[in-house]
Amino acid sequence: MIKILTVIGARPQFIKAAVLSRLIKKEEYSSKIEEIIVHTGQHYDENMSDIFFKEMEIPKPDYHLGVGSLSHGAMTAAMLEKIEKLILKEKPDILLVYGDTNSTLAGALSASKLLVPVAHVEAGLRSFMMIMPEEQNRRLTDHLSTYLFCPTEVAIRNLEKEGIPFQKPPKPSADEKSVSLCGDIMFEASLYYRKKAENQESKVLKNLPDKFILLTMHRQENTDNMSRLSSIFSALNRINDFEIVFPVHPRTRKIIEKNGISFNKHIHCIEPV
């Protein structure tokens, strides 16, 4: 039996992980694959974590590391230490990570140092902006990984430009990587959850306008720069020909409240959904 240690820590990763976890639990694979789920705690409040395990039908984590809101360095270091101990305890055949978070990099680095093969779902995606922590995480994770699962052909070409060829060697390793074109796991998730979303009884969602623009705002390049943030919201306040629905990230909400930013009536602020 293959033992997979899956490391997740952020909201989108919960949703992606649920797709694969459900598949692993099917009769076809349940006798061949054992999955151990590790939740780092990177997204730590009730709305950003626990509710997703319930509503998205994600198996409860086997381990919760409790690494919450810290600086990038402190957070990654704390995760490294705790994930390393779990790898030594569980002795997985593969460590699986998703996306581009600090949890992803910490998992990949811990495993690679202990010579455990790393599988990276959503490999090859690039913003080409190394100033972004997410770009640093995804690039480093790709180069540490043995198995790279790419959602698009563009992702494969990005890896080729970095010296990682599109191949499936007979004995994959961190030096001779196996690269696959597998499609977008988030699209798989959207198909599964579409009916559930249409049938939900949420009062908040029922009160939304029939037509609206969906706004998200959480990248630190925008939220941590007050000149940029003020400019964005000033422009949004002027775009009053449309209703705008804004699910507010907890971190963004703190910054908005701290700086006394206000919105016109056409901008509807709701909790994360």
* Given the residues 143, 218, 266, 268, the one annotated as active site: 218
- Token representation of residue 128: 């080409």
Side-chain half-sphere CA neighbours of 6 within 13 A: 25
For 39, phi and psi rounded to 5 degrees?
A: -105, 115
Secondary element (H or E) of residue 53: helix 50-55
- Token representation of residue 141: 């994770």
For residues 179 and 150, what is the distance between their CA atoms, to the nearest angstrom?
Answer: 7
97, β-bridge pairs:
7, 120
Side-chain half-sphere CA neighbours of 145 within 13 A: 30
Q: Mark whether 249 is an active-site residue.
A: no
User: Which residues are tagged catalytic?
Assistant: 218
